[in-house]
């Protein structure tokens, strides 16, 4: 019987495993996105102290909703768990001085994760994006 050497694997950035935006260094005023399962929420960095950032939720107005009259308006069809939605969501963003403030810290694997969550918890990435998954 052959003996196999036990190898310790170190957590490193693996191209393609996570979006590169998870590993950027946000500055005050930068737009970031909170990723929560299939939804995404637009935010702005309001404070940075070392490996911790505070982000504030932004206002996001859906421009091409179901009854918007836009040529690229979202369309809904029955089926699936609740219904299917066709189209790409477009949003207009603005700062919300009364928005919720959340804290995130940089972890060993390089990702920015919500303070209090495990290393696999809710994370942020660079760039301001909003997305609501209507299929649930």
pTM for the model stands at: 0.77
Cβ atoms of 76 and 84 within 8 Å: the answer is yes
3-state helix, strand, coil in the chain (%, to 5): 5, 40, 55
The residue written with tokens 């957590």 in the block is 11
Domain borders along the chain are 20-61+91-126
pLDDT by position in tens, the chain (length 136) = 444 333 433 344 444 555 555 567 889 999 999 998 889 999 999 999 989 999 999 999 999 989 888 999 999 888 777 788 889 999 999 999 999 999 999 988 888 999 999 888 889 988 999 999 887 6
Q: In this predicted structure, what is the pLDDT of residue 19? A: 54
**Nearest CA-CA partner of 126 in 12, 36, 27:** 27
State how far the Cα of 109 lies from the Cα of 95, in Å rounded to an integer.
30
CA 40 to CA 25: how far, in whole Å? 19
């Amino acid at each position: 019987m052959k003996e196999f050497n036990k190898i310790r694997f170190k957590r490193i950035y693996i191209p393609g495993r996570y979006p590169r935006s998870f590993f950027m260094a946000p500055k005050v005023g930068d737009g970031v996105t909170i990723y929560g399962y299939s939804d995404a929420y637009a935010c702005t960095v309001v404070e940075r102290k070392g490996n911790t950032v505070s982000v504030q939720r932004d206002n996001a107005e859906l421009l091409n909703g179901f009854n918007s009259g836009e040529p690229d308006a979202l369309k809904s069809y029955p089926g699936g768990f609740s219904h299917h939605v066709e189209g790409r969501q477009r949003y207009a963003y603005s700062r919300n001085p009364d928005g919720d403030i959340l804290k995130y810290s940089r972890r060993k694997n390089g990702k920015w994760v919500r303070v209090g969550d495990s290393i696999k918890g809710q994370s942020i990435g660079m760039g301001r994006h909003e997305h609501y998954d209507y299929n649930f």
